[in-house]
Amino acid sequence: MSASSPSTQSPSRLSVSLPDEARLRAAAWALRIQFFVSGALFATWGVHVPTVKAHYGLGEQALAIAMLASGVGALLALTQAGRVVGRFGPRGVAGLTGVLCAAGVSLLIVPDAYIGLVLILMLFGATASLFDVAINAEATEIEHLADRPLMSGFHAMFSLGGMVGAGVGSLLPLLGWSTQTHLLAACGTGMALILLACPAMLKMTAAPGDKQPLSLPRGVLALIGTLAALGLIAEGAMYDWSVLFLKQERDSSASVAALGYASFSLAMALGRFAGDWVRARVAPVPLMAASGALAATGMALALVVPVEGAGLLGFALVGLGLSNVVPVLFSAASKVPGVSAAHGIAAVSSLGYLGMMSGPPLIGMVAEHASLTVGLACVVVFALIMAFSARRALGGTGAP
């Protein structure tokens, strides 16, 4: 899951001895590699959703239930994420969970039984969520130590990884690679990059307060968290359903369908690389409103115009629209009056990640009873809610 936080204060209470400039720069590049790998692994799963569906002979509802297992795994892991990262530090947790997440990708079509897929996706969800929390904890501290905006750039690497992962998934079938060969190659490459990057990460420990369980957000913080969940449901829908939509609803080839994910990820990466510049010049309320409107327009274009090109353009507009949603919301969460930055970020992050993991299965259930086009229309509705709720959610937070 992608997240962002302000550079002027650190929402994390992780502590680290002050590194020199070269050490901090090396740690930042190591973290960029971790974000890139995380995005590539998500993309590899997303590209092969149609393959998984065919391998196990699933309908949309059965596939959605399997995806929901990933959300359950993530939710169970998130209840302990603070304690785990606090005890072992982001570097150790990222190394172990990143490797396990990559291993889960390699196993996607190994079993013949449906229960095997469910268990693998539960493992994938649990390890991916812990990996995400660990690298975000380190990203927050690096940005704080560097005393300049870096978070959008870190998350741009996640999107860039998604674009590369989807692009590779589109190219390899044309070169005669089998699905399992691709999954094994993605697993091996991901593991190698994670293990090479981990030693350069900062060694960090947490204060006792970081080991406390999460509490539910209330008031404006709950509204911000709800909007984060809606935004990440839309983002998760692109990860899990964009390729299948083009293949099934537009009768695209496997290679063209994979480009739907790649176009979304490229546009999101570009939006995030420019994110710090944009956030410095556009106030949160109009930026949030424009972002939601653009995402809704792009999704509507992909769903209404029945040609492949409209789908690719629409998914790109969705990516561009969603690219700044999480940075805006997380920055606002850190500035809610009467709430510490740490609590605000943690509370909104938990709701947002839950939305990302549980939203795609819900869309799949709608698709089973109607169509995937109707299911993805939920993204249009959620994006419009974000646009029209911007002032109520962000107007009184004190966000710059």
Q: Mean pLDDT lowest for which of 5-14, 165-174, 197-206, 271-280? A: 5-14
Residue-level pLDDT at 341:
53
Angle made by CA atoms 12, 28, 26, in degrees to the nearest 5: 130
CA-to-CA distance for 236 and 337, rounded, in angstroms? 30
Q: In 3D, which of 248, 186, 195, 197 has the Cα closest to residue 51?
A: 248
Instruction: Tally the C-alpha atoms within 13 A of residue 200's C-alpha that lie toward its C-beta.
Output: 18
* 362 in Cβ contact with 229 (< 8 Å): no
CA-to-CA distance for 298 and 367, rounded, in angstroms? 19
With respect to residue 253, please indicate whether it lies within any of the assigned structural domains: yes
For range 291-300, the mean pLDDT: 96
With respect to residue 142, please indicate whether it lies within any of the assigned structural domains: yes
pLDDT, tens digit (0-9, with 9 covering 90-100), for 256-273 = 888 888 889 889 889 988
* 267 in Cβ contact with 312 (< 8 Å): no
Residue 335 DSSP label: T
Query: DSSP strand E in 138-239: where?
Result: 205-206
**More confidently predicted of 209 and 287:** 287
User: Which 3 state secondary structure label does DSSP give 205?
Assistant: strand
pLDDT above 70: residue 5 = no
* 159 in Cβ contact with 3 (< 8 Å): no
With respect to residue 13, please indicate whether it lies within any of the assigned structural domains: no
pLDDT above 90: residue 84 = no
CA-to-CA distance for 243 and 255, rounded, in angstroms? 9
* 144 in Cβ contact with 154 (< 8 Å): no
Tokens of 95: 């190394």
| pLDDT grade for 236, boundaries at 50, 70 and 90 | confident
**More confidently predicted of 244 and 139:** 244
For range 163-190, the mean pLDDT: 89
Domain count, the chain: 1
With respect to residue 171, please indicate whether it lies within any of the assigned structural domains: yes
List CB contacts of 377: < 8 A, sequence separation 6 or more: 299, 303
Helix ranges, 274-371 (H)? 275-279, 284-304, 308-322, 325-333, 341-369
For range 205-233, the mean pLDDT: 71
Please write down the long-range contacts of 213-216, taking CB distance under 8 Å and 24 or more positions apart.
213/79, 213/82, 213/83, 214/78, 214/79, 214/82, 214/346, 214/347, 214/350, 215/343, 215/347, 216/347
pLDDT, tens digit (0-9, with 9 covering 90-100), for 132-160 = 878 877 877 787 788 777 777 888 898 88
Q: Does the predicted model carry a pTM greater than 0.85?
A: no
List CB contacts of 144: < 8 A, sequence separation 6 or more: 7, 9, 10, 12
CA-to-CA distance for 277 and 211, rounded, in angstroms? 34
Q: Report the CATH number that the domain containing residue 281 is assigned in CATH.
A: 1.20.1250.20
List CB contacts of 290: < 8 A, sequence separation 6 or more: 282, 321, 387
* 350 in Cβ contact with 78 (< 8 Å): yes
With respect to residue 298, please indicate whether it lies within any of the assigned structural domains: yes
With respect to residue 210, please indicate whether it lies within any of the assigned structural domains: no
Domain that holds residue 81: 21-201+217-394
CA-to-CA distance for 278 and 301, rounded, in angstroms? 25
Q: In 3D, which of 136, 30, 37, 33 has the Cα closest to residue 81?
A: 136
pLDDT, tens digit (0-9, with 9 covering 90-100), for 247-256 = 888 888 888 8
What size, in residues, is the chain? Answer: 400
With respect to residue 206, please indicate whether it lies within any of the assigned structural domains: no
CA-to-CA distance for 302 and 308, rounded, in angstroms? 8
With respect to residue 104, please indicate whether it lies within any of the assigned structural domains: yes
| pLDDT grade for 333, boundaries at 50, 70 and 90 | confident
Residue recorded with tokens 């490459």: 189
Angle made by CA atoms 229, 242, 182, in degrees to the nearest 5: 110
Q: Phi/psi of residue 88, each to 5°?
A: -105, -10
